[in-house]
Structure 1
Amino acid sequence: MNFGQPRSLQARQLLAASMGLLAFLALAGYALDRAFIKTAESHLEERLSNLALSIARDGEFARDGSFVAPYDAPDARLSRPGSGLYAEVVFPNGHWDSESAQGPVLPDARMLDAGVRRFEGPLPIRELDGSPGEVYRYGMGLIWSPSRRGTAAEFPYTIYIYESTTVLAEQVAVFRAALWRYLGGAGLILLLLQGVILRWSLLPLRQVIAELKRVQRGEASRMSERHPRELEPLTESINAFIESERENLDRQRNTLADLAHSLKTPLAVLHTRLEDPATDEASLREEVGTQVQRMNDIVSYQLARAAKSGHTLFSAPIAIEPHAEQIVTGLEKVYAAKGVLCEFDLEPGLQFFGEAGDLQELLGNLLENAFKWAKSRVLLTIRQVPCDGGRRPGLLIAVDDDGPGIPPEKVALILQRGVRGDERVHGHGIGLAIVHDLVRAYKGSMDVRASAELGGARFEIRLPPGL
């Protein structure tokens, strides 16, 4: 595997989860292993303690001070030489060894104080065949106090029980074999289950990729809307890009169609004059100049319309108030003779998510139209439209004037696309059509009605929340 190459999401997730699972299993196995060893050593200590207590209970000291072992050994291995289980009794004037201890060389044993118990090991020994070995040792310090002799006959002694480490080692080996076998099997099952879960959880991503490929091949017009919540912003953004590109293409086609249709007439006039043999050079020159100027005006007009359509997705936010103040300052100078004043009703910190030129066109054309028809007052109102889901807020832009207003039956006419300025009613110019096209490009809505505050017209624009 080349770690320098980027992996798929599934491979990354599977590798990371597998490493985490292996680390967990290793730590769990180590913890269980240590816990088992501690438990086995504790059980060993308890078993050796029970053997020492059995010898102390059933054994006794003779009159000559020698130790008399129990008639029945508490463990049969104590009677078999080299069995791995040994017993030793240490007292002031000697010591006693079990039959199993005849031959092996055990560690030096010293007497312990009465009541002292000690478990230690592994300690080195030499086995019956002379090979080195290790044992665990349990020691118990006691006091021999025969009831018929009084306290003067009391003396201390210590009982030691030894057991070879091979017994515990075999138990640990059996446990470890079973532990790692079961952990390995569980790990393999979890890895397979993990792969299935990852494949299932990444299925929506594969569906998104498949849908995107269908869109690229032209088999689908947009992404579907049935996706998990985490992928909805992605699919919405893709659909927004697709729709934006489609609208740009439609706009370009419309612009070219309009340009071609507009140029047909002056071209036909030129062709007719050129084919007419009665046309003299002076009149032809004048006609060519007239039609060329007309075509130049047509091209300029269509280019201006194309430049003022559409917007860029995910634009940086623009502060609205400085642009509004700049526009109003200029308009108040132009219409100074009318004495029109513009009032602001703006929330602080308002921002426009789009192109600066689009904001200038929206506010400039609406305010210029209001200044043109107002008697003395214009009101600019801008509000933020809250939204949820972490999306950028929408905007409400309203311009009121105290002019004559617009009859409801004339609203659709003044907003028609492609109507020239001299065809508009009540002198509303091409600026309103530009505003209408921009509002549609931003997926917004435009409403024209009577102003409740100033009595004239109210142009209200609502721009929806962004992605």
Structure 2
Amino acid sequence: MASERRPSEGRLFDDRWRARSLQSRQLLAASLGLVAFLALAGYALDRAFLETAESNLRTRLESYALEYTRRIEFLRDGSLYVPDTPPEPRFERPGSGLYAEVILPAGHWDSPSAQGPELPMGTMLAPAVQRFEGPLRMTRSNGEAGEIYRYGRGLVWAENGPQAEFPYTVYISEDTSALSQQILVFRRALWGYLGGAGLVLLLLQALIVRWSLRPLRLVETELKKVQRGQLARMSARHPRELEPLTESINAFIESERENLDRQRNTLADLAHSLKTPLAVLRARLDNPTPENELREEVSTQLRRMNDMVSYQLARAASSGHPLFAAPIEVESHAESIVRGLEKVYSQRKVLCEFDFDPEARFHGEPGDLQELLGNLLENAFKWAHSRVLLTVRVGERTPGRRDGLLLAVDDDGPGIASDRVAALLQRGVRGDERVQGHGIGLAIVQDIVRGYRGELDVKRSEELGGARFEVRLPPGL
């Protein structure tokens, strides 16, 4: 049963972790890192202090051993003579914690301070050998267990000639209580200061995290105001790291508003277009009309209304600006459209040439690309004498964004007068009015280009001498 509960408990932990705010995540992660750093720093400082204290203790004990070596002498009979004045007064006080011992081949000597405590016996060291060891167990004068650090140095006495040479060893020992007290004081101060510094750093860290996340809270506040209708769009006063996010949100908001406006315009245009056929039918029904004539009129007006509905639906379906569309290769779509147009206009023998940049891509819906190419190429085939040129190039480039696109269609037809361009591309005109000039397809092209925030330019073709329809789509998000 326990193994069956583990997956749900793991999922519950994951859900709780994912539900945490960015601020709590950063504070928790930074706090754990800070605690780990302070713990490692404290451990390193503690080890460094301990090693330094032990090194200083060894140096001090070594100096005492050298001082005893300088002062002690051996008499002619080989007996040891130690001056009454030791290098440190503590050597004279029993149980003082500082002890001296000289080991001879046939005995040993202890300082007065060693009277009472039970110290571990030292061994004879070879000449010139030094030994620092500890902590070693000992028993103090009051019977309590204790520890000592001991330094030993092997020497040779040779002042009476080579025949009188004999080895001896000097040991200096010190109780660890003084060192332990120093370490205890140091550790209390160390962890006290580190703890205080840690609390200060945690508070400072909380303030820094709160300050660093303030732009995200401003984004959240602005987004709520946009949702409530208090703001039309996100402001531009954000750090550059958040600019892609705010720009994407603004682009989405504008796209949704454009879609809503487009739907309203489409419905308004459709309603306005249907008013006349409905009015004609109402007039026919109100007035006496022969049955055959009425049937013919109803059929005509129904066909007209069907064409209007089909056109408005096609225009609405072909509009839109997808924000995160995958790149589409243009050439394959263009080849498919041109093959169909060449069959339709086979009697005119119009030749379509391609000039493609292999890196050029269309970022949008495939249907929008089909409408753009289809309407522009069909318009060119309709008015061209014999040649059509389709040019596709990489457009404007902006670091960190997808490339723009340049798409142009040239023909060698009569061209378009400059004073007719504005009327030809006018938006919001009824379908019947758009048939003038190059037909309703150009209005659909204009709607698609505007949906992608691009530009449609109509001018004289320098290459073929006819009309040139040039579409420029800006870099995407």
Instruction: Please indicate the TM-score interval, normalised by the length of the shorter structure.
Output: over 0.9
Paired residues of 1:421 and 1:429 also in contact (CA < 8 A): no
Alignment of 1:24-43 (within 5 A): 24-43=37-56
Tell me the distance in 1 between the aligned counterparts of 2:285 and 2:458.
49
Match of 1:103 in 2: 116
Match of 2:192 in 1: 181
Match of 2:63 in 1: 50
Match of 1:294 in 2: 304
Query: Among residues 154, 161, 176, which one is paired with 2:165 in the alignment?
Result: 154
Asked if residue 324 in structure 1 is aligned to residue 334 in structure 2, the reply is: yes
SS of equivalent residue, structure 1 residue 160: strand
Query: Among residues 230, 237, 240, which one is paired with 2:241 in the alignment?
Result: 230
Alignment of 1:282-361 (within 5 A): 284-361=294-371
Alignment of 1:7-18 (within 5 A): 7-18=20-31
Give the C-alpha shift of residue 254 in structure 1: 0.7
Match of 2:454 in 1: 444
Match of 1:79 in 2: 92
Match of 2:207 in 1: 196
Paired residues of 1:414 and 1:425 also in contact (CA < 8 A): no
Match of 1:163 in 2: 174
Tell me the distance in 2 between the aligned counterparts of 1:39 and 1:119.
14
Deviation per residue, 1:281-340 (Å, 9 max, x gap): 665555444433333332222212211222322112111111111111111222222121
Tell me the distance in 1 between the aligned counterparts of 2:284 and 2:352.
53
Which is further off, 413-422 or 113-122? 413-422
Give the C-alpha shift of residue 275 in structure 1: 4.0
SS of equivalent residue, structure 1 residue 229: coil
Paired residues of 2:308 and 2:431 also in contact (CA < 8 A): no
Paired residues of 1:421 and 1:428 also in contact (CA < 8 A): no
Which is further off, 438-447 or 109-118? 109-118
* Equivalenced residues, count: 464
Query: Among residues 247, 257, 266, which one is paired with 2:268 in the alignment?
Result: 257
Paired residues of 2:269 and 2:430 also in contact (CA < 8 A): no
Asked if residue 243 in structure 1 is aligned to residue 273 in structure 2, the reply is: no
Deviation per residue, 1:211-230 (Å, 9 max, x gap): 00000000000000121111
Give the C-alpha shift of residue 385 in structure 1: 1.7
Deviation per residue, 1:14-35 (Å, 9 max, x gap): 1001100100110111011111
- Which amino acid is the alignment partner of residue 13 of structure 1? Q
Tell me the distance in 2 between the aligned counterparts of 1:280 and 1:339.
49
Deviation per residue, 1:156-192 (Å, 9 max, x gap): 1111011111121111111111110111111111111
Deviation per residue, 1:67-96 (Å, 9 max, x gap): 222221111111111111111111122211
Give the C-alpha shift of residue 421 in structure 1: 6.4
- Counting aligned pairs with the same residue, the percent is 69
Tell me the distance in 1 between the aligned counterparts of 2:396 and 2:275.
49
SS of equivalent residue, structure 1 residue 360: helix
Tell me the distance in 1 between the aligned counterparts of 2:434 and 2:202.
73
- Which amino acid is the alignment partner of residue 218 of structure 1? G
Cα 1:270–1:373 shift into 2, 3 Å = closer
Give the C-alpha shift of residue 130 in structure 1: 2.4
Query: Among residues 139, 157, 180, which one is paired with 2:152 in the alignment?
Result: 139
Paired residues of 1:394 and 1:466 also in contact (CA < 8 A): yes
Asked if residue 429 in structure 1 is aligned to residue 403 in structure 2, the reply is: no
Match of 1:113 in 2: 126
Query: Among residues 53, 59, 62, which one is paired with 2:75 in the alignment?
Result: 62
In structure 1, the gaps of 5 or more residues are none
Which is further off, 211-220 or 98-107? 98-107
Which is further off, 320-329 or 346-355? 346-355
Paired residues of 2:350 and 2:381 also in contact (CA < 8 A): yes
Cα 1:283–1:345 shift into 2, 3 Å = closer
- Which amino acid is the alignment partner of residue 231 of structure 2? A
Query: Among residues 357, 377, 386, which one is paired with 1:367 in the alignment?
Result: 377
SS of equivalent residue, structure 1 residue 327: helix
Paired residues of 2:320 and 2:452 also in contact (CA < 8 A): yes
Cα 1:421–1:292 shift into 2, 3 Å = closer
SS of equivalent residue, structure 2 residue 463: coil
Tell me the distance in 1 between the aligned counterparts of 2:431 and 2:238.
47
Paired residues of 2:273 and 2:430 also in contact (CA < 8 A): no
Which is further off, 150-159 or 171-180? 150-159
Paired residues of 1:55 and 1:70 also in contact (CA < 8 A): no
Paired residues of 1:395 and 1:463 also in contact (CA < 8 A): yes
Which is further off, 175-184 or 278-287? 278-287
TM-score (norm 1): 0.95
Which is further off, 418-427 or 304-313? 418-427
Give the C-alpha shift of residue 273 in structure 1: 3.9
Paired residues of 2:375 and 2:441 also in contact (CA < 8 A): yes
Match of 1:415 in 2: 425
Tell me the distance in 1 between the aligned counterparts of 2:453 and 2:321.
10
SS of equivalent residue, structure 2 residue 242: helix
SS of equivalent residue, structure 1 residue 230: coil
Give the C-alpha shift of residue 270 in structure 1: 3.3
Asked if residue 212 in structure 1 is aligned to residue 223 in structure 2, the reply is: yes
Which is further off, 324-333 or 262-271? 262-271
Tell me the distance in 2 between the aligned counterparts of 1:418 and 1:138.
103
Tell me the distance in 2 between the aligned counterparts of 1:422 and 1:12.
61
Paired residues of 2:360 and 2:394 also in contact (CA < 8 A): yes
In structure 2, the gaps of 5 or more residues are 1-11
- Which amino acid is the alignment partner of residue 89 of structure 1? V
Tell me the distance in 2 between the aligned counterparts of 1:249 and 1:12.
39
Paired residues of 1:321 and 1:350 also in contact (CA < 8 A): no
Cα 1:199–1:134 shift into 2, 3 Å = same
SS of equivalent residue, structure 1 residue 337: helix
